Structure 1
Amino acid sequence: MRYCFALDLKEDPELVTRYEELHRQVWPEVIRHIRDQGVLDMEIYRLGTRLLMVMETDDAIYDAARMATAAQNNPVVQRWETLMWQFQAPTPWTPSGQKWMAMSRIFDLAQQ
C-alpha cells in the first residue's frame, strides 16, 4: 500500500540544508527499523519548508501502531527522532505531540 505524509521544516535555510545533509546518509539502525516494519520504499520530497513522504508497504507486515511502538522502544530511533525535531515543525493541521500527518488522496488517475 502507498501512504503519503506531510510535515514542515523550520523556516531557517541553514537548518533545511543540514536536514537534507542528514538524509543523504540516514543512520543504518534507523534504516533497519524502517525495513523491519514492512516498509518497502520511502521517499521524502521538499518544496520550501513543506515535506512530503511517500511510503510503500508490505501489507502482510506493516502496521502503523506496531511501527510506532517499535520506534518508542528503540533508543537509536528515538535519538534520530529527537535530532530530526530540531529541524522539523508541525503543519498548521498537526495535533499537538504529533509529527508526520497522513494526507488524503483526492485524485487517482487509474480510477478516471
Structure 2
Amino acid sequence: MRYCLALDLKDDPALIAEYERYHEKLWPEVEDSIRSAGIREMEIYRIGNRLFMIMETEETFSFEQKAAADAANPKVQEWETLMWRYQQALPLAKPGEKWLLMDRIFKL
C-alpha cells in the first residue's frame, strides 16, 4: 500500500535546517519502530515549510497499531516530542493531529 501525508514545519530557516539535520541520521530506535510496523519505504519531501511523506507499506500495516506501538515506546515518544519543536499542524488539522493523510485525486 502507498500512503501520502502532509505536515508543516515552523517557517523558520534555522529550525528547518535543524529538522533536516536530524533526518540525515535517524535515531536507530525510530527506524526500528518504522520498519517493525510494516513500513517498507518512507520518503519525506519539502517545499518551503510544507512536508510531504510517501510511505510504502505491507498489506498488514495499520495506522492504529503503529500509533499504539509508538505510544508504548519511550524513545519514539522522545523523538516525537523533539520533532514537534520544528513542526506545526496543518491549518485544517484537528487538535492533536500531526501528519494528515492525503487523498489521491489523479493517477496516470
Aligning the two structures, in what range does the TM-score lie when normalised by the shorter sequence? Answer: over 0.9
1:39 equivalent to 2:39? Answer: yes
User: Aligned residues: percent identity?
Assistant: 52
For each residue in 1:18-66, what CA deviation from the matched residue of structure 2 results, as whole angstroms up to 9, or x when unmatched? Answer: 0000000010000000000000000000000000000000013x11100
Q: Provide the aligned C-alpha RMSD in A.
A: 0.5
Distance 1:63 1:25 in 2: 25
Task: Give the structure-1-normalised TM-score.
Answer: 0.95
- Say which SS state the counterpart of residue 96 (structure 1) adopts: coil
User: Which residue is 2:2 aligned to?
Assistant: 2
Distance 2:83 2:59 in 1: 27
Q: List alignment gaps of at least 5 residues for structure 1.
A: none
- Say which SS state the counterpart of residue 52 (structure 1) adopts: strand
Q: Say which one has the larger Rg.
A: 1
Q: How many equivalent residue pairs?
A: 108
Give the 4+ runs in structure 1 shifted more than 4 A: none
Cα drift, residue 107 of structure 1: 0.2
Task: Give the structure-2-normalised TM-score.
Answer: 0.99
Distance 1:50 1:17 in 2: 13
User: Which residue is 1:64 aligned to?
Assistant: 63
Q: List alignment gaps of at least 5 residues for structure 2.
A: none
